[in-house]
Amino acid sequence: MFKAFKSGLLAAALLACAFAPSVQAQTAPAVVAAPTKPALWVIRDADSTIYLFGSIHVMKEGAAWLTPDLQSRFDKADDVWFEIPDLDDKAAATPLAQKYMFDASQTMTDGLTPEEIARVDELLKPSGLNSQMLKPMRKWAVGLIITLQQITASGYATQTGVDLTLVTRAREFGQTVHGFETMESQLKALVPASEDEELKSLRTTLSDVDTMAQDVHNLFGAWRTGDTENLTKLMINKMKAEDPSGYQRMIVARNADWTPQIETILAGKGTVFIAVGAGHLAGPDSVIAMLQKQGVMVERVAY
């Protein structure tokens, strides 16, 4: 697996697909027949119940993940928390995309060989785009577009991801929606630290694009069955070993920021449902591991 994780770009796509342009699936989505029960945890004290649910930002048609049990727990929550509270606010996303995903110097193709530029053109063609059209974009953003194109071509949709589904439901039922971070801080976390890292990430995408469908299939399979051990192996361990800078920026730093916020929630009262990317709840640097280090008892829920 999974060389696509060398730059952490696939993880970035799963964490923040809302910031990339929409692309249409090139193949018909396959129905997922097996039971879908993603991992769920609970934290309890005398007057609080907090559910921690690992979400995924894309969805396969037929994956009936919102079971009656899970739906009941979500609907009974007084407050719901997501990574960001306004993930579907396109008006807010547009200026941030301009700020972090575009570069007025139009140097997107700088450093790429003619063969690599031709490969970019080939991959973008199904979306009606090409490297010249995207020259004002940053390399990491072009890599994200290509990655998302491969994901959707494999039959996964961003519009029916867990987060969008739950935030829509919360608003319909009048639940209070909160976020651990802002749209801008999340997007900043995805941006590579240097031009060299951006070039490396785009090159990794180009060389590994043919394996992305299988990579996403494996990750989705681990998520939908609640297999956190395999999720840790497929995403966390690989990313930690192959892109340590991105791992620290996109996973560890954000987990460390969210953990004290969850402790503050626990100090309050009532029932709260938290849904964040499943990668944040797996591995040795997960939110769960950080909470446990603070003496918080976190239990896996069987449902």
Classify residue 301: in a domain, yes or no: no
73 close to 47: Cβ distance less than 8 angstroms: no
Q: Which domain holds residue 201?
A: 3-20+34-276
What average pLDDT does this structure show over 126-144?
Answer: 93
Classify residue 282: in a domain, yes or no: no
CA 120, CA 256: separation in Å to the nearest integer?
A: 36
What pLDDT shows up at residue 16? Answer: 41
Classify residue 47: in a domain, yes or no: yes
Handedness of CA 222, 230, 58, 56 (dihedral sign): positive
What pLDDT shows up at residue 78? Answer: 94
What pLDDT shows up at residue 35? Answer: 65
Classify residue 286: in a domain, yes or no: no
pLDDT at 17 over 50: no
Classify residue 284: in a domain, yes or no: no
CA 278, CA 289: separation in Å to the nearest integer?
A: 13
Average pLDDT along the chain: 87
* The two structure tokens encoding residue 122: 């080939």
**Of 22-26, 56-60, 236-240, the least confident:** 22-26
Count of domains forming the chain: 1
